[in-house]
Structure 1
Amino acid sequence: MNAILQHIDPARMPAIIDDSLVAYRGWLCTACGGQLYHERDVWWADSRLVRAAFHMQPPLDALAQSVEHVLAYFARSNHGFQWFLGPSEHYQSYADALLAHGLEYDEEEPGMAIELQDLNEDAPSVPGLTIQPVRSLAQLEQWIRVWLFPLHEAVIRQVIGSYARVPFGPGSPNQFYLGLLDGKPVATVCNFYDGHVAAIHYVVTLPEHRRQGIGSAMTLRAAHEAWARGYRVAVLTASPSGRPVYQRLGFREYGAFNTYVWQPGDKEQA
């Protein structure tokens, strides 16, 4: 427990959020039976749940070779992948190298964090909402169906099969929570505990039930669970719709986290 972060240091938080994301993606990859690689100063994962490069620290004079190495790996397997870039003094050089090698910019999300003792608990309760920890495969399937709505059934079935291998019991570092409104599954959230901070992921509400405070309630439940486990700082990355929700709860922004994508058939090296 000594490694658990007790307070936020603004100068360190972008790197701490990035480390949490790296730990989560690496754990999820290996938990579902995938392979994690660390070569040429880049970490990347190849699994049914995570196909991505998510941490890079090559010297600038070796940057092109590192990008080419990872790109060649995924090109050989004919799989698309994501490349995540966190805040870095070399961010622009890294981004330029990805674009030059045929990856495309996808999105930017702010990294956010809060000391849990400062959480704004004034969000109104949602009548009829209950939040349950996921403890069975049937609940896990309900969770995934809400999270992935409205993707095609074949995709959903594949993800359900992959997540069935991922530990989600009380002792797992990854904890799923399912929100039910009058007994109907309508919302999701999960926590990942890396030993330092609690990372909140996948705050999702079905479209017809949004703007009722359910997202806030799910986030608060995740934060309360983190506190109960001894964690004192929670982190997340925010979608455009989630950002104001987290701001109202007291989260503050610490850096930008960007995603680039590559698909087979995209142009490769320039």
Structure 2
Amino acid sequence: MASFHDTFAADYPRQGALTKEQLQRLYVKNKFELTKHVSAVVGAKAQYFGGNDWFISWYSAPEGAEIHNGLEHQDVPDQHVPAALDAVKHNLKDRRFNWVTGPQDQNRLEYHLRRQDFTVDEQEPVMVVDLRQQTEAMRAAVPNGIRIGDIDSWRVRDWVKAWSGHAPVEATTHWTQIYDTMLNTLHRKQFCMFMAQQGGRVIGTGYLHCFAGIASIHAIAVVPELRGNGIGKALTAYGMQRAASIGYNISTLTSSRAGLNVFQSLGFKEFGVVKLNVWRPLIDRGTIENEQKEALEAEQEGWCLV
């Protein structure tokens, strides 16, 4: 059997050959591609606005799918921020939308977003690992009685239920449609989903999205009653193994507060921070505190926790 070292491909970037800024740009390219596929499933349309030397693009989602409205990892010259925001608000008919900033330094833009009544709903470190240097970490022990492996379409709903905790049925159905479609339309070397199961029950989740030379691990979560038993670490190691098996040298992820120590133990190191900046119409702003409380409770219940 080939070792991990035999699987690395020369045509994918190596971490040691990249500057921090180059790595951040590859991360953004990967995220753009992932968002493109998610947006296509929900029917969100790409929109554009700008001038001679700058432009922005965003997705406008159908009514009821406002979570997919927004921009990612883009910058705007200071003097054009008000016009850019007006264009997005007008296009979205003053519905809520997100502007994700980072992992590069975007302090100036974030300053303007705060002045325009955006709130920071999430702030998470982005982490990277050199897979060539972590071949032993990839072999993190799987706890007794637990099996980890890829899933097929018929397990997607069970996967979503384990990942989302006590999310409403509508949210479960929504994300099941997204991931089922992606699993059936994208090549498994670009997108694969995996799970931990115990006695046939899905108890942990993760997926891998590969693009722009990096393999990005997402949605590492474990059901609340089984956390702290090494399942999250084993799931992450499995994602690293899958990335290495198809030749990738670099893997990235964003970390929740609870997962930071686990990911560090596998060799991941921080190379930036991403923030979810949310703009809400005036009529909705009275719900901000409740939504942020619910988001924190969701994280504690099961979203992206290990």
The interval holding the TM-score normalised by the smaller chain is 0.7 to 0.9
Q: Which amino acid aligns with 1:63?
A: V
Match of residue 87, structure 2, among 49, 69, 83: 69
Contact 2:30–2:212 (8 Å) recurs in 1 = no
Question: Which residue of structure 2 lines up, in the alignment, with residue 56 of structure 1?
Answer: 74
Match of residue 7, structure 1, among 2, 5, 15: 15
Contact 1:197–1:233 (8 Å) recurs in 2 = yes
Match of residue 246, structure 2, among 229, 239, 248: 229
Question: Which residue of structure 1 lines up, in the alignment, with residue 295 of structure 2?
Answer: none
Aligned pairs (5 A) from 1:240-255? 240-255=257-272
Aligned pairs (5 A) from 1:22-171? 22-40=32-50, 41-47=55-61, 48=65, 50-74=68-92, 76=93, 79-89=95-105, 91-119=106-134, 120-121=137-138, 123-136=140-153, 138-168=154-184, 171=187
CA RMSD of aligned residues (A): 2.2
Residues 189-226 of structure 1: CA distance to partner in whole angstroms, max 9, x if unpaired?
00001141000000011111100101011111111111
Which of 173-182 and 233-242 deviates more? 173-182
Q: Measure, in 1, the Cα distance between the counterparts of 2:19 and 2:82.
A: 32
Deviation, 1:14, is 2.6
Q: Which amino acid aligns with 2:119?
A: E
Deviation, 1:108, is 1.2
Equivalent position SS for 1:62 = helix
Q: TM-score, normalised by structure 2?
A: 0.78
Q: TM-score, normalised by structure 1?
A: 0.88
Equivalent position SS for 1:150 = coil
Q: Which amino acid aligns with 2:132?
A: Q
Contact 1:205–1:214 (8 Å) recurs in 2 = yes
Deviation, 1:31, is 4.2
Q: Measure, in 1, the Cα distance between the counterparts of 2:60 and 2:192.
A: 22
Contact 2:76–2:109 (8 Å) recurs in 1 = no
Contact 2:47–2:59 (8 Å) recurs in 1 = yes
Q: Measure, in 2, the Cα distance between the counterparts of 1:150 and 1:159.
A: 13
Q: Gapped runs of 5+ residues in structure 2?
A: 1-8, 286-306
Equivalent position SS for 2:182 = coil
Q: Which has the higher helix share?
A: 2
Q: Measure, in 2, the Cα distance between the counterparts of 1:216 and 1:25.
A: 26
Q: How many residues align?
A: 263
Contact 1:131–1:218 (8 Å) recurs in 2 = yes
Deviation, 1:68, is 2.2
Contact 2:103–2:126 (8 Å) recurs in 1 = no
Equivalent position SS for 1:230 = coil
